[in-house]
Amino acid sequence: MNSEEGRAAVSVIMPAYNEEKSIEACFYEVFEALEGYGKPFEIILEEDGSTDRTPSMIDRLAKKHGNTKVLHFAKRMGKGFGIRKCLEVARGECIVFIDSDGEYPAEKIPEFIDVINSYDVVVGARSKWVDQKGGNRVLRALLSRTYGLLVRRLLGVDLQDYQSGLKAFRRQVIDAIEPLESSGFEIDSEMLLKAERKGFKITSIAITYSFRGDSKVNIVLDSVKMLLALLDWKLESDTRTPLLNSPAMTSPKPDVRSFRPSQTFDRMQTDHRNEVKK
């Protein structure tokens, strides 16, 4: 088991919402990739408001693997919220983010970690889209490219794939761009835009994106939210006020669980869970 007391070399953050069909397979893809890499690591699984078997599944994974933490929230709070809470407990010098839906190639994570030795941020640029089981891949790809074009036109920033669900950051970058304030899918763009504005070196690695056709992204509502965030960032760019200067949402404390036998973690419990397995 690749785990150690204190700070890990790598933290992998996996936010999830109703991912019972993919979370276990995705977890093991990440776990096996990192186990073969040979550096101490931890995996942080987060879910908020899931109504399927996701909560019990990630608890079971954490019981089996001591370098795994889980965070639970009673209500659906959003991807950005989950990532922000995961960062509060992450110990890695390199922090990797990967969606838990099986659409991103976990086997590429060691390559991202290697490249982070020369750069501050590495983004998985979705250069090839492959359908897993149908779905409107063309529409999603078009929306993704349109969003990237808007970012470049409005903010004058030319980065590849602002909304990629696979990224790696040095710890010092995360420390520099906090506090993060997005609660939804716009968190991906906020992190990259803040890192770029701070002058960190950002590069990309081409990846194959396996579109599965049942994304949690609401094409209408989430697109509107992301557009509003862009306009907010544009206003910030023009007025030089803090990026996303509205206060971060007041958030409940998570139920953080680690089943590592060699170390006991503080428990932060939400009102929806009264029993904590140790």
Q: What pLDDT, in 10s, does the model give residues 52-62? A: 999 999 999 99
Mean pLDDT of the chain: 79
In angstroms, the Cα distances linking 63 to 33, 253, 258, 265 are 20, 21, 8, 13
Mean pLDDT of 232-238: 64
What is residue 152's three-state secondary structure?
helix
**Catalytic pick from 48, 188, 232, 255?**
188
Give the confidence band of 248 by pLDDT, cuts at 50, 70, 90.
Answer: very low
Catalytic status, residue 188: yes
**Residues 207-220: pLDDT tens digits?**
998 876 666 665 55
pTM of the full predicted structure? 0.75
- Report the C-alpha gap between 22 and 15 in whole angstroms: 12
Residue 234's pLDDT is what?
61
**Residues 69-118: pLDDT tens digits?**
999 999 999 999 999 999 999 999 999 999 999 999 999 999 999 999 99
pLDDT at 264 over 50: no
Residue 201's pLDDT is what?
96
Higher pLDDT, 221 or 201: 201
Cβ-proximal residues to 269 (8 Å cutoff; 6+ apart), any chain: 253, 255, 276
- What homologous superfamily does CATH list for 10-131+161-212? Spore Coat Polysaccharide Biosynthesis Protein SpsA; Chain A (3.90.550.10)
Mean pLDDT of 226-243: 61
For residue 129, give both structure tokens.
């889209």
Residue with tokens 């609660």: 183
Higher pLDDT, 181 or 55: 55
**Residues 167-180: pLDDT tens digits?**
999 999 999 999 99
- Report the C-alpha gap between 59 and 253 in whole angstroms: 17
Output the CA angle 237-240-243, nearest 5 degrees. 65
